[in-house]
């Protein structure tokens, strides 16, 4: 009986194993197919950036270069180099300032309650749903009346203000999971609001800061509408310079593609290095402790 039972048991497991193998195969085939679809534009950008002026045409977009050249990269860097420096000078302070202000707002609205806190939070969130296009003309007039210079200074102010709703929301959700006993213990010890924030809340806020900084960095780096209204090719960020590089009567496809790759490198590096912390930070703020 034993010698007959073992082969029967093994045989009964074979269909289950086959179905799992087939399922894994289909899953990997679909994943590879999706990856190819996503990477096709990157392939066109990459191969076109190494083509010569005569070879870089829409008709030859899918073909490999007849001769690999770097002249397009040189022309792109010549146009985008100064704009990249201005973009970093705008994005870094805008991301840090909006993150710090959002952290303070989130702490006060979640742990240091005051009458009307929910109304204030709702009004702050309302800023997320105001389209940029609807307020662009009043914003131009306001910035002009305030005397804020066009270029990097005005873009920093705008990205800080428009970043406050999302940064406040993320930090408020994150701090909602922090035990209230920590804040109450600090109050018992005589710590005020600022001392509690600096000594207790800020040291445990790293996951939320990673999420907010990455979000703000990417949003400010890729912005074009604010840059179009509040800067020019002489003092604007990389998106404006890339637009001027891609325009013109004689289209320089190789330089345009190389410029697009150059402009995307900083955000790509950020997500490669900090992507796993970004997901972890989002999850940390999604569940209350």
Q: What is the DSSP string of 218-248?
A: HHHHH--HHHHHH--TTT--HHHHHHHHH-S
When pLDDT is cut at 50, 70 and 90, the band that residue 184 belongs to is: confident
- Whether the per-residue pLDDT at 97 is higher than 90: the answer is yes
- Mean pLDDT, residues 40-53: 87
HEC string of 171-211 equals HHHHHCCCCHHHHHHHHHCCCCHHHHHHHHHHHHCHHHHHH
pLDDT tier at 223, thresholds 50, 70, 90: very high
Res 88 pLDDT > 80: yes
Higher pLDDT, 129 or 96: 96
pLDDT classification of 105: cutoffs 50, 70, 90? very high
Higher pLDDT among residues 21 and 31, named by residue:
31
At 7 the pLDDT is 55
Note whether 90 and 237 are within 8 A (CB): yes
pLDDT, averaged across the chain: 85
Percent of the chain with pLDDT over 90: 38
pLDDT at 276 over 80: no
H or E element at residue 83: helix 71-111
Evaluate whether the domain defined by 71-284 bears CATH number 1.10.3720.10: yes
For 243-270, the pLDDT digits (tens) are 988 776 567 888 889 999 999 999 999 8
If phi over 0 gives left and psi between -120 and 50 gives alpha, with beta otherwise, what is residue 190?
Answer: left
Is the pLDDT confidence value at 9 over 70?
no
Residue 288 has pLDDT above 50, yes or no: no
pTM for this predicted structure? 0.83
pLDDT tens track for 50-77: 988 777 777 777 888 888 888 889 999 9
pLDDT band at residue 172 using 50, 70 and 90 as cut-offs:
very high
Neighbours of 257 (CB within 10 A): 24
Average pLDDT, stretch 214-238? 92
pLDDT of residue 1: 46
Local structure of 284: helix, strand or coil = helix
Q: How far apart are CA 104 and CA 120, in angstroms?
A: 14
pLDDT at 233: 84
Residue ranges per structural domain of the chain:
2-49, 71-284
Q: What share of the chain is helix, strand, coil (3-state, %, to 5)?
A: 80, 0, 20
Q: How confident is the model at residue 162 (pLDDT cuts 50, 70, 90)?
A: very high
pLDDT(283) > 70: no
Q: Is the dihedral of CA 113, 115, 117, 120 positive or negative?
A: negative
Q: Is the pLDDT of residue 289 over 50?
A: no
pLDDT at 16 over 70: no
pLDDT of 3 above 80: no
CA distance 234 to 240: 9
For the chain, helix (H) and strand (E) counts, in that order, are 11, 0
């Amino acid at each position: 009986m034993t010698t007959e039972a073992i082969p029967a048991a093994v045989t009964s497991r074979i269909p289950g194993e086959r179905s799992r193998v087939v399922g894994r195969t289909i899953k990997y085939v679909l994943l590879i197919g999706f990856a190819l679809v996503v990477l096709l534009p990157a392939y066109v950008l990459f191969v076109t950036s190494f083509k010569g002026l005569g070879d870089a045409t829409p008709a030859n977009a899918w073909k490999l270069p007849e001769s690999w050249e770097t002249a397009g990269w040189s022309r792109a860097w010549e146009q985008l180099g100064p704009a990249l420096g201005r973009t970093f000078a705008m994005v870094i302070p805008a991301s840090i300032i909006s993150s710090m202000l959002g952290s303070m707002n989130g702490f006060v609205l979640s742990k240091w309650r005051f009458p009307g806190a929910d109304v204030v939070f709702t009004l702050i969130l309302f800023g997320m749903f105001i389209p940029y296009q609807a307020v662009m003309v009043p914003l131009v007039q306001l910035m002009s009346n305030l005397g804020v210079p066009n270029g990097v200074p005005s873009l920093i102010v705008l990205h800080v203000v428009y970043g406050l709703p999302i940064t406040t929301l993320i930090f408020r959700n994150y701090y909602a999971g922090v035990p209230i006993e920590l804040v109450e213990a600090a109050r018992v010890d005589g710590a005020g609001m600022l001392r509690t924030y600096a000594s207790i809340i800020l040291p445990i806020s790293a996951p939320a800061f990673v999420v907010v900084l990455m979000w703000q960095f990417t949003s400010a780096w890729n912005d074009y509408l604010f840059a179009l209204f509040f800067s020019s090719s002489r003092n604007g960020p990389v998106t404006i310079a890339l637009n001027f590089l891609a325009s013109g009567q004689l289209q320089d496809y190789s330089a345009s593609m190389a410029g697009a790759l150059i402009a995307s490198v900083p955000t790509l590096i950020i997500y490669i290095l900090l992507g796993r912390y970004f997901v972890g930070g989002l999850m940390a703020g999604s569940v209350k402790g």
